[in-house]
């Protein structure tokens, strides 16, 4: 094993220990790990900072800005409360939770969608005296499955498309189309929604 590999493994172990201990925020721990790799000469500065030149990073940042604006403005609160309705029975409520989450997750990165919907669900569940825990896993699944339906549904899809476009290995491949993933994502969403409504609870 080369010296660079040993250094990299050591820094990776230190990062994992720091992240798991919670003594330092993950983003600061990542920055420290990247800096350490540069200081030890494992990475050149151009290599370490190359990821920030990927256009996908700026697209993802824009999604978070839009999501934060929706959350802070309260624009979704009234609409979602009306959509969820008064019935808290899982058989009726689960489709009303999962469908809008899946749809919004297909057009906005799914991670902030979950962050927006959790307090809304907590408020709705409190009003109807039902345990919110019955809806949190379906919420998570809906956001993941909705994100698989479009290119912009998850940051992973955007990054993968950027890698395909910029990599010399995939020279003959076209970038992922906006709805190319829907051929797999929509059937998965339909099957999963049906299962959760019929048997999941």
SS3 content of the chain, % helix, strand, coil (to 5): 75, 0, 25
Give the span between the Cα atoms of 57 and 66, in whole angstroms: 15
Per-residue pLDDT of the chain (201 residues; tens, 9 = 90+): 688 888 899 999 998 998 888 888 888 888 899 899 889 888 888 877 776 766 667 776 776 777 677 667 766 777 777 777 776 676 778 888 888 888 888 888 777 788 788 888 888 888 888 888 888 888 889 999 998 888 888 878 877 887 777 766 766 777 778 888 889 989 998 998 888 888 876
d(CA 153, CA 142): 12
Burial 15-52 (b: 16+ CB within 10 A, else e): beebbeeeeeeeeebeeebbebbeeeebbeeeeeeeee
Beta carbons within 10 angstroms of residue 184's beta carbon: 11
Model confidence pLDDT, tens digit, residues 13-29: 998 998 888 888 888 88
């Amino acid at each position: 094993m080369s010296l660079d590999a040993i250094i990299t493994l050591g820094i990776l172990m230190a990062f994992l220990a720091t992240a798991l201990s919670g003594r330092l925020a993950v983003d600061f721990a990542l920055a420290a790990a990247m800096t350490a790799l540069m200081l030890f000469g494992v990475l050149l500065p151009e290599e370490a900072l190359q990821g920030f030149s990927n256009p996908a990073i700026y697209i993802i940042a824009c999604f978070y800005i839009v999501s934060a604006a929706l959350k802070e403005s309260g624009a979704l609160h009234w609409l979602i409360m009306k959509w969820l309705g008064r019935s808290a029975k899982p058989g009726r409520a689960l489709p009303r939770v999962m469908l809008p989450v899946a749809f919004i997750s297909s057009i906005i990165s799914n991670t902030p969608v979950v962050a927006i919907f959790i307090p809304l669900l907590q408020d709705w569940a409190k009003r109807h005296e039902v345990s919110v825990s019955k809806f949190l896993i379906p919420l998570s699944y809906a956001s993941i499955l909705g994100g698989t339906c479009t290119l912009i549904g998850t940051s992973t899809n955007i990054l993968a498309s950027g890698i395909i476009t910029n990599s010399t290995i995939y020279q003959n491949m076209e970038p992922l189309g906006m709805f190319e993933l829907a051929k797999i994502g929509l059937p998965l969403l339909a099957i999963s929604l049906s299962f959760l409504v019929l048997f999941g609870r």
